[in-house]
Amino acid sequence: MSDSLRIERDRRIAYITLDKPDDKVNILDKSLIEGFGTVLDSVEKDDSIDTLVFISAKEGNFIAGADINMFDTFTETEEFEAFIKNATDLLDRIEQFPKPVIAAINGSCVGGGLELILACHARIATDDSSTKFSLPEVKLGLLPGAGGTQRLPRLVGLPSALDIMLTGKNVFPRQAKKMGLIDDLTHKHGLRQAAEWMAGKLKKDGAISRKLSLTNKALTHSPLRSVAFSQAEKQVMKSTRGNYPAPLKILESARAGLTKTRDKGFETERRLFSRLAFTPESAALRSLFFAMQGAKKNPFKEKAAEVRKIGILGAGLMGSGIADVSSKAGLQVVLKDRDIESAMKGYHSVEDDLRKKIKKRIISKFDSDAQMERITPTSNYGHLRGVPVIIEAVFEELDIKHQVLNESMSMSPDAIFASNTSSIPISDIAKKAEHPENVIGMHYFSPVQKMPLLEIIKTKQTSAEAIGTAYEIGLKQGKTVIVVHDGPGFYTTRILAPFIHEAMLLLGEGASVESIDSAMKDFGFPVGPVALIDEVGIDVAAHVSATLAPMFRERGAEPGNTAQKIHDAGYLGRKNKKGFYRYDKAGKGKKKVNEDIYAFFGGSERKKIDKTQIQQRMSSVMVNEAMLCLEEHILDSARDGDLGAVLGLGFPPFLGGPFHYTDQIGVEQLLEQLNKLESAHGNRFKAAGILQEYLKSGRKFRDEA
């Protein structure tokens, strides 16, 4: 039997406890799969056992999916497909096991873990906030390859199954119960008793009676399912622009499962899964996954102080968002603004967000109340007395940041002071600090609750204690954390600035707003660069442009001031409903361009610029800036550069980030592209010196991530 499995007999029930040694979570690997087979052999022969129950000993985790590292051990699709068949044969055996098999789930049940419980005869889950279900394989460029595309549509109906498989989103306990994914819910301390009750029910009734609604049944088991597949395919193509092969293969596999024989459905799933595992898109997405896993380990953890309470200065959009993720993580939060009305507005913003989650049955009223009790809105600096970490989220003006630093330090002189600035050098902020070693950057992205990245910025004076503590707070908040060195724009804002500037130049050359945004969405960005300016704010774009202008000007690349002119004319973007796009009634539905904006770019007459040219110019200028950041030691690793670009700025995930992308297309091709662009458009495309170094040495960025 596997070291990860323990068997315990209680009356006529065998509890199989999943508990992978020396790991916080259970992962389906080769040894665990083999262990399941041994357990089934033992239980099947034992006449003293009537029922088998799978349960986990891990706090907040049932099974966290398959061991993705295994995928890189295979070099041929046929070999990989044979391995997958072993796993699916095991789940088939569970499904057809002569004794009832129950899954008793507390915590995350993800990927292969969900596919395991789908093969069980009954499923009980706790209503704990840690319990959630998902099939996130699509985020790795894969499909659920152990029966997920076959069993899930039959269990919950095709529409719900496609929604789960095509998005990789989390399904929470009450949602799971409602759709039929889970048969019953219980409190986490009553899980074994509930499993015992379910064992008795199965012994009495033989099986759980489950029925799909008439609509769900028609869309799953009648010719009407073609409508569901057709609509799903249209949505996939609209959202992915054809850049991701996995969603279409999920549809193909699910269709085979519902229209062909059972064996043919499973064979189709295995074949498609094995092919996807060897695509460049999956390789890039898995590379990001491993990078994110690596970033979960705080390299400064030994120096980190234990923090239970933080202060937040500024209760606006960013401040209230930071308060939300911090209080959710169990931290006590002092939310301060210039007056109590502003502080309460931020407090109620968090409350409104939680109310929506209650309505969607994602969290309970009890959990919401407990979280709100951890937030103290105030206008009084006295509430910050003794608080060990203070995060400021005030206006992007150096004088204001100096003011709040001094005022907060008077209450808590030894506190770590973290700035949420997106562009002001942290060393400039630290100049007014009595303890500059305690000043650090914690750059969050909006909306804080949804954006996964936290960019920590350290100066030459920042202490390891400050870095480690900020990193640990970010991990608690559920963020993927990167640490970069101080400099104008740090990393993410620095590589975004030339990207936005290039869009402005293209507009000045006569390109239309739609053509630029459409070209870059086709390239793989989730939001077009011009729409992004509206989202972050034209005022912010103007400020960033001014802050980074000296650096770009020194390199012979004139940054321009068009964004400032547009801002001076009263344009802020979405925040005041006046930007590159229209946000009035005429702009409802499909976004419409605000034609008045063209007055800043030579007039309303637009001309066609080749899509490939737009994509090459926009992508190359961002990738090259990332290379310069590594060359100038703003970045410590290519890994952090890829994470920052993808998770913070939306660089196409299927390309893996600027450095993975460069490895993929080859340094030589990127250099050739940059040299041509430099000849045509000037110094802003001058290739980073590091590219020549890597070309000569033959090194890969992934080898030094």
pLDDT digits (tens, 9 = 90+) for 101-144: 999 999 999 999 999 999 999 999 999 989 999 999 999 999 99
pLDDT reading at 589 higher than 70: no
The CATH number for 345's domain is 3.40.50.720
Contacts 24+ apart (CB under 8 A), 402-410: 402/429, 402/432, 404/313, 405/429, 405/432, 405/433, 405/439, 406/432, 407/381, 408/311, 408/313, 408/381, 408/384, 409/433, 409/434, 409/435, 410/381
Residues 21 and 50 in one domain: yes
**Ranges 16-20, 25-29, 326-330, 662-666: which has the least confidence:** 25-29
Residues 9 and 106 in one domain: yes
In which band, very low, low, confident or very high, does the pLDDT at 361 lie, cut at 50, 70 and 90?
A: confident
Residue 1: predicted pLDDT? 55
Burial of 599 (0-12, 13-18, 19+ CB in 10 A): exposed
Tell me whether residue 369 is in a domain. yes
Q: Establish if 84 belongs to a structural domain.
A: yes
Among 142-146, 192-196, 363-367, 552-556, the range scoring the smallest mean pLDDT is 552-556
Q: Angle 529-536/492-508 helices, nearest 10 degrees? A: 120
Among the listed residues 455, 472, 502, 625, the single catalytic one is 455
Given a cut of 90, is residue 703 above it in pLDDT?
no
Regarding whether 513 and 368 lie in a shared domain, the answer is no
- Give pLDDT, residue 82: 86
Residue 425 sits in the same domain as residue 517: no
Please indicate, yes or no, whether residues 192 and 210 belong to a single structural domain of this protein. Answer: yes
Same domain, 639 and 667: yes
Q: Is residue 296 part of a domain?
A: no
Instruction: Enter the DSSP assignment of 595.
Output: G
460, 487, 514 - which closes a domain:
487
Give the confidence band of 62 by pLDDT, cuts at 50, 70, 90.
very high
Tokens of 376: 């103290």
Residues 47, 139 within the same domain: yes
Q: Does residue 596 lie within any of the structural domains?
A: yes
**Strand, helix or coil for residue 237:** helix
Q: Is residue 216 part of a domain?
A: yes
pLDDT tens figures, 648-685: 999 999 999 999 999 999 999 999 999 999 999 999 99
Average pLDDT, the chain: 93
DSSP state of 552: H
Compute the distance between CA of residue 610 and CA of residue 511 in angstroms, rounded to an integer: 9
Q: Evaluate whether residue 287 is within a structural domain.
A: no
- Helix ranges (H only) for 477-610 are 492-508, 513-523, 529-536, 538-554, 562-568
Task: Give Cα 145 to chain centroid, integer Å.
Answer: 22
Q: Binning pLDDT at 50, 70 and 90, where does residue 80 land?
A: confident
Task: Tell me if 559 sits within 8 A of 548, measured CB to CB.
Answer: yes
3-state secondary structure of 279: coil
Q: Could you read off the pLDDT of 291-317 as tens digits, one per residue?
A: 999 999 999 999 999 999 999 999 999
Q: Which of 243, 278, 313 delimits the end of a domain?
A: 278
Encode pLDDT of 149-176 as tens digits: 999 999 999 999 999 999 999 999 999 9
Please indicate whether residue 455 is annotated as part of the active site: yes
> Which residue shows structure tokens 């080859």?
666
pLDDT above 90: percentage of residues in the chain: 79
Q: Per-residue confidence at 396, pLDDT binned at 50, 70, 90?
A: confident
pLDDT at residue number 547: 86
Answer whether residue 284 is part of any domain. Answer: no
Confidence of residue 588 (pLDDT cuts 50, 70, 90): low
Question: Does 341 lie in the same domain as 207?
Answer: no
Rounded Cα gap, residues 95 and 691, in angstroms: 54
Q: Are 315 and 273 in the same domain?
A: no
Please tell me the predicted confidence (pLDDT) of residue 557.
76
Residue 140 is part of a domain; what is its CATH number?
A: 3.90.226.10
Give the pLDDT band of residue 35 (cuts 50, 70, 90): confident
Domain count, the chain: 3
451 shares a domain with 587 = no
CA quadruple 426, 688, 661, 74: dihedral sign = negative
**Domain at 564, CATH number:** 1.10.1040.50
In the predicted structure, residue 587 carries a pLDDT above the cut 70 = no
Specify which residues 53 forms β-bridges with. 15, 102
What pLDDT does residue 237 have?
94
Over residues 388-402, the mean pLDDT reads 93
Alpha-carbon distance of 122 to 200, in angstroms, equals 12
* Residue given tokens 């028609």 in the structure block: 218
* Strand 132-134 to 184-186 pairing: unpaired
What is the residue range of 582's domain? 493-704
Give burial (CB, 10 Å; 0-12/13-18/19+) of 411: middle
Band of residue 536 on the pLDDT scale cut at 50, 70, 90: confident
- pLDDT confidence of residue 506: 96
Domain check: are 248 and 381 in the same one?
Answer: no
When pLDDT is cut at 50, 70 and 90, the band that residue 584 belongs to is: confident
Q: Are residues 412 and 551 in the same domain?
A: no
Of the candidates 244, 278, 312, which is a domain's last residue? 278
Domain presence at residue 285: no
